[in-house]
Amino acid sequence: MLTTRFGDTYSTAYVLPLAMVEDDIARVRSPQVQQVANADGAFDFNGASAWPIAAGTVKKRAIVTAATWQAVDVTLDALHAATIAPGEQRLWAEMRDGSKRWAWAKCLSIHAPDKVGQPFHCPIELEFTLREGLWYAETAKTQTQAGAATIALVNSGDVRVPVSVSVTANATATTAYAVGAPGRGWSFAGTLAGTKTLIVDAAAYVATNNALNCFSSLSITDRAAFWFYLEPGSNSVTITFTGGNPTAVLAWNEVYL
């Protein structure tokens, strides 16, 4: 994996220097341990759990080159303006298979050591902090399901991910709809009029019926977690409803460490 761009969208993001590039991408766990007096080892407050994930860091080293020293300075000025000057943006990385991932990142520092005699180039080092320590797939996965069913949804990422569900009624109104898996899920009890859409977005904590808030019509299995999420691997998901024959589109972005 190699970081290549910094900006809101891949197509418009600033292209980072890639000459003689080297990336140091750290994934770390937060050490929540404490030494116990007169005892070996330490007490781990997280127990056997792999959570929580700590913030991540990316250090990028490369060479800025140009035909003249003036052009080198122009390139360095553009680098400063596009990385350390703005706030948090998406840091884009390209995988060896051609796919892309991104992470929320902020540039913390730029080092550009210069010395007399080097021929029209300047080594640079960028350091980014990733507050979540997570990398998101560029595009969401989707599954369309008409009516009721028990289906297998696969999360190929490394961590649990929230799922957005968009339910559209057919010509007949739907009066109840539920999506669930063991230990999590939500159910809607109300009237979804014919051809109208119910959206329950577990990532944004949004629930709308025909574009109007409908939190009062929603029951959540576990309010301490995402309303509905997929664990890494295969998930058995059950969909039930009353009235009509609605169609749902389930969408999620896989997330990687």
Enter the tokens of residue 89. Answer: 């943006």
pTM for this model (two decimals): 0.83
**CA–CA dist 209, 179 (Å, integer):** 16
pLDDT band for position 113 (50/70/90)? confident
- Minimum mean pLDDT among 78-92, 116-130, 152-166: which range? 116-130
- DSSP-based three-state secondary structure for 59: strand
**CA–CA dist 158, 236 (Å, integer):** 18
Predicted local distance difference test score (pLDDT) of residue 29: 73
With the C-alpha atoms ordered 37, 41, 42, 47, is the resulting torsion angle positive or negative? negative
Q: Could you give all domains of the chain from N- to C-terminal order, each with its CATH number?
A: 2-137 (2.40.30.200), 141-256 (2.60.120.860)
Q: Which amino acid is at 143?
A: Q
Question: What's the full length of the chain, in residues?
Answer: 257
Compute how many other C-beta atoms are within 10 angstroms of the C-beta atom of residue 218.
Answer: 17
Predicted local distance difference test score (pLDDT) of residue 47: 72
- Over the stretch 92-111, which tens digit does the pLDDT of each residue have? 999 999 999 999 999 999 99
- Minimum mean pLDDT among 65-69, 73-77, 88-92, 111-115: which range? 111-115
Q: How far is CA 86 from the centre of its chain?
A: 20
Give the ranges where the chain is alpha helix by DSSP (H): 69-82
Give one DSSP letter per residue of 27-77, joined into a string.
--B---EEEPTTSSSEEETTTT--PPBPPEEEEEEEEEE-SSHHHHHHHHH
Predicted local distance difference test score (pLDDT) of residue 245: 96
**CA–CA dist 155, 94 (Å, integer):** 20
Predicted local distance difference test score (pLDDT) of residue 48: 73
**CA–CA dist 49, 248 (Å, integer):** 34
Distances (CA, A) of 139 to 99, 142, 252: 10, 10, 9
